[in-house]
Amino acid sequence: MSSSTLMSIGMRAMFANTASLNVTGHNIANANTEGYSRQEVELATANGQFTGAGFFGKGVNVVNVKRAHDQFLTMQAAAAKSMAAADQTRYGQLTQMENVFPPGDQGLGYAMGDFFASMVDLANAPGDNSARQAVLARAADVSDRFSNASNRLDILQAGVRSDMKNSAQTVTALAARVADINEQISANRGQTQQPNDLLDQRDHLIEQISQYVNVTTIPASDGTVGVFLAGGHRLVLGGESAELTVRSDDLDASRVGLSINSNGQSLALSDDLLTSGSMAGLLRFQNDDLVDARNRLGQMALAFASEVNHAQSLGIDLNGKPGSDIFEVGPSQALPAATNARDVNGQLLSTVTMDITDASLLQASDYSLRADPSNAGQYQLVRLSDGLARSVADGDEVDGFRINIGTPAPASTDRFLLQPVARAASGMHRVLDDPSGIAAAQPVQATMGVDNAGTATVDQLRMTDGTVDPNLTATITFSDDTGAYTWELRDRTSGALASSGTGTWTAGEPIELNGFALELNGVPTTGDTVTVDKTLFPATNNGNALAQSHLADEQFVGRTLDSNGNYLDGATVTDAYADTMADVGVRVQSARVSSEISTASSTQASEQLASKAGVNLDEEAARLIQYQQGYQAAAKVLQVAQSVFDTMLQIGS
């Protein structure tokens, strides 16, 4: 073997060790670069040369520089980070929403209880102006707390919209960078050599995108990667990228969704297909948690205001006039879909409205309404909180509200979102400002006959509806000890008989006449009388204030009806608020646990990927010494080859 062969072997060895030193230095320099994969030089023995004495090796060749990459671990880590981002985002939003429903004296339950307590104070002094001022102050506090809570939910919704817009812009920018790197990879891709640093950058960009929205990738034969989201919508294909945008929801413009714009076309993305990433967490919070909280808040506001206003209407104020409303709430809404049929001027052809018929039956839910294709004149109504579907027609009453279908009737493709309670709290405010307008007195009062011999006394006189006529005097006379009685209604001015009849009193059961219900204690006897006459001095009567204070114990929130149309008890206002706090609290704790689990899974997946592709500085330092020694040995080979060559020249000369 000639000295030139030995020199070639030494040169190859020096080049191989130099390449290894360069790659090792590159690894050390990028040890803390996010997304970087460890690289190493791939070496191969050079083909030997045949001689009569056998094959002699010709050294080493540098074949390739490859990266320590595992596609499965990379995808697994990206998916785990995407799920963790969704759970962390939702948990963060829920912790903010939890502050909208504080416990203790800062909560809505306390404020409503305080209002009813002020009615008790008013009942003790119905003519006292300071007690009446206190009622109005407590009423203002209740309405302000409902309104403020609704406003804070609106702020959270606005925050969701803002975060979604920022995230969409970030994803669009990241997708454009992936497309640019795709072009560079395609242009620089060799037969066997890969542009490792570009591949790392692309993988890292795709991982960043997945933290906002779940994506799938499909490699192409030219080295590029297609990035798809939400069921196959193209985000990146080769060197082209699409734009991710935020759109208003088709039914509720206050909510947002996602669209993807490509080649001048905009396609709406289904929220159901966005399963992970921070944007999926925001959408779940918006579409589930925020909607439920808003409906629970509105249900309480509407039930509370309606019951108080109804009780107020049954009494009379200091001027002897029927009580007017204390509260006003936001309206119910029937929101048409943006795709509903319109005329040539862009006006909707069909409309739907709602009337609240019984606030105690209202449920904390939105409803979807669309024409029933199999039954003309019928509509499919779905309660979105639990999926209960019913067939309804124009004028039907469901869950405490009446549905009114406009003319012309909605087309088969028209859709409506019905929100009986969602906006009730946002528009809640006190409308009664005059203290004398509080109806603390009842329009009539009951008096036992002075000559009564029995033990019966008036326990309670309640107004059952607004039909009581204070100009009619009711006289009830017991005819025997069994409870039988006769009654008369006479004009209190002329004494003319308006109507009369008979009945039987049973202990614990009220006597109902002329829009009132009279309950007695004790036992009446033959000849005993009870007179129910007009209240002449409202300032001394506390009947209606007592009736309003008793609402604190009435279960009028979220009632339902049995098959016979009878009420099934719901919850008191304080219990309803406690249930709301509990519901939000459960969501927060569940989201926290989910976030902790997914974060732990993400950390584990990242550690597994790092063990495969990450840079270990201790190992790289050892390799650095190894390659340095190899380089020095190769240099020694060259030195020996040079010495041999010089000796051969001297011999030849």
* Residues sharing a CB contact under 8 Å with residue 521, sequence separation 6 or more, in sequence order: 455, 456, 457, 458, 459
- Could you give the C-alpha distances from 544 to 322, 457, 515, in angstroms and in order? 11, 19, 14
pLDDT tens for residues 289-321?
A: 999 999 999 999 999 999 999 999 999 999 999
Contact predicate 86/277, CB 8 Å: yes
Comparing 482 with 545, which gets the higher pLDDT? 545
The predicted pLDDT at position 328 comes to 96
From first CA to last CA, the distance across the chain in angstroms is: 20
Q: If pLDDT is split at 50, 70 and 90, which confidence band does 638 have?
A: confident
pLDDT tens digits along 204-246: 999 999 999 999 999 988 889 999 997 788 999 988 999 999 9
Interval 339-376: pLDDT, tens: 889 888 888 889 999 999 999 999 999 999 999 888 88
- Reported as a single tens digit per residue, the pLDDT across 513-523 is 988 999 999 99
Is residue 351 within 8 A of residue 404, CB to CB? The reply is no
SS3 of residue 610 by DSSP? helix
Question: E strands, 379-528, where?
Answer: 379-383, 388-392, 397-398, 401-405, 415-419, 429-430, 444-448, 457-463, 472-478, 484-491, 497-504, 511-513, 516-521
Q: Say what the alpha-carbon torsion angle 353, 357, 359, 364 is, to the nearest 10 degrees.
A: -40
What is the per-residue pLDDT across 68-98, written as a single tens digit (0 to 9) for each? 888 889 889 999 999 999 999 999 999 999 9
Cα–Cα distance, 126 to 152 (Å, whole number):
37
Which span out of 193-202, 588-597, 605-614 was modeled with the highest average pLDDT? 588-597
* Residue 316 contacts residue 123 (beta carbons within 8 Å): no
Instruction: With a cut of 60, say whether residue 40 has pLDDT above it.
Output: yes
CA-to-CA distance for 426 and 215, rounded, in angstroms?
38
> CA–CA separation, 539 vs 439, rounded Å?
10
Confidence at residue 355, expressed as pLDDT on a 0 to 100 scale:
94
| pLDDT given for residue 148 in this prediction | 96
Q: How much of the chain exceeds pLDDT 90, in percent?
A: 65
The mean pLDDT value of the chain amounts to 90
For residue 29, which phi and psi values (nearest 5 degrees)? Answer: -65, -30
Q: Which residue has the higher pLDDT, 252 or 190?
A: 252
